[in-house]
Structure 1
Amino acid sequence: MSDQQDPIAEVADRLLNIEAEMRRIRVWSFEAPSPEALASNQPFCIDTLDFTEWLQFVFLARMKVIVERGHGLPAVSGIAPMAEEHFRGRPEAGDRLVRELEAVDRLLSDS
Structure 2
Amino acid sequence: MSARDEDNDLIVVVSYLLKRQVRMQEALSALGMSRSTYYEQRDKGVLNSIPNLMAVAEHFGLDKVDLLVRFGHLSKTDLIDFLEREGEVIADVSDATLDPPVLTTVRRRTRSRLSRPQARTDIPPL
TM-score by structure 2 length? 0.28
Larger Cα-atom Rg: 2
Greater percentage in strand: 2
Greater percentage in helix: 1
TM-score by structure 1 length? 0.31
